[in-house]
């Protein structure tokens, strides 16, 4: 796939994260529980993805899930923590500050994941432009509070 299409899809996913957070926060207020709201959000997402996998003939993949390494299951736990954290903090921090903090965490983790080649990623060195990108997002986080 062309780079611009891939980057566009990821940008759209970023928009989804930005919109998902206040929607989930509103759900949390409505049901009066950030944990329940996160569980509901995951339940809806699970249902859509499971139906899509089955509908596209990929349902047998679920049978192979039990044979995967334990750490491959951590993605769901990490996602649950992310959704709950955003539901709980977004009303307290505001959308911009919460999403800046989220982006900073993603960038710092991405730099380390690239540097170590974790989970089979190609190794990429920590360069000055990459370090500056993280610092700029950190500066944006600070500025978002003014």
pLDDT at 121 over 80: yes
Task: State mean pLDDT over 122-127.
Answer: 96
Sign of CA dihedral 48, 51, 54, 59: positive
Sign of CA dihedral 28, 32, 38, 44: negative
At residue 90 the predicted structure's pLDDT band, cuts being 50, 70 and 90, is very high
Name the percent of the chain in helix, strand, coil, to the closest 5. Answer: 85, 0, 15
Res 1: pLDDT: 76
**CB contact burial 76-101 (16+ within 10 A = b; e otherwise):** eeeeeebbbbbbbbbeebebebbbbb
Angstrom distances, CA of residue 129 to CA of 26, 108, 111, 137, 141: 37, 13, 11, 12, 18
Task: State mean pLDDT over 46-52.
Answer: 97
- What whole-number percentage of the chain has pLDDT above 90? 96
Task: Decide: pTM greater than 0.75.
Answer: yes
Task: State mean pLDDT over 89-117.
Answer: 94
Backbone angles phi, psi at 93, to 5 degrees: -100, -25
Mean pLDDT score across all residues of the chain: 94
Distance, in Å, from the CA atom of 24 to the CA atom of 34, rounded to the nearest integer, reads: 8
Task: State mean pLDDT over 17-22.
Answer: 93
Angstrom distances, CA of residue 100 to CA of 31, 63, 68, 108: 26, 38, 34, 12
CA angle 69, 120, 38 (to 5 degrees): 60
Task: State mean pLDDT over 112-136.
Answer: 95
For 53-84, how does the pLDDT look when each residue is reduced to its tens digit (9 = 90+)? 999 999 999 999 999 999 999 999 999 999 99
Res 146: pLDDT: 86
């Amino acid at each position: 796939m062309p780079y611009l299409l891939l980057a566009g899809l990821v940008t759209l996913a970023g928009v989804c994260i930005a919109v998902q957070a206040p929607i989930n926060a509103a759900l949390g207020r409505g049901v009066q529980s950030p944990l329940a709201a996160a569980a509901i959000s995951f339940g809806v997402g699970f249902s859509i993805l499971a139906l899509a996998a089955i509908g596209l003939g990929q349902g047998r993949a679920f049978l192979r899930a039990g044979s995967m390494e334990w750490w491959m299951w951590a993605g769901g736990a990490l996602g649950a923590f992310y959704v709950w954290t955003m539901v709980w903090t977004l009303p307290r921090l505001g959308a911009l500050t919460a999403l800046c903090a989220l982006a900073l965490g993603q960038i710092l983790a991405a730099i380390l994941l690239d540097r170590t080649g974790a989970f089979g990623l190609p190794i990429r060195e920590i360069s000055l432009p990459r370090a500056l990108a993280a610092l700029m997002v950190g500066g944006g986080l600070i500025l978002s509070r003014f």
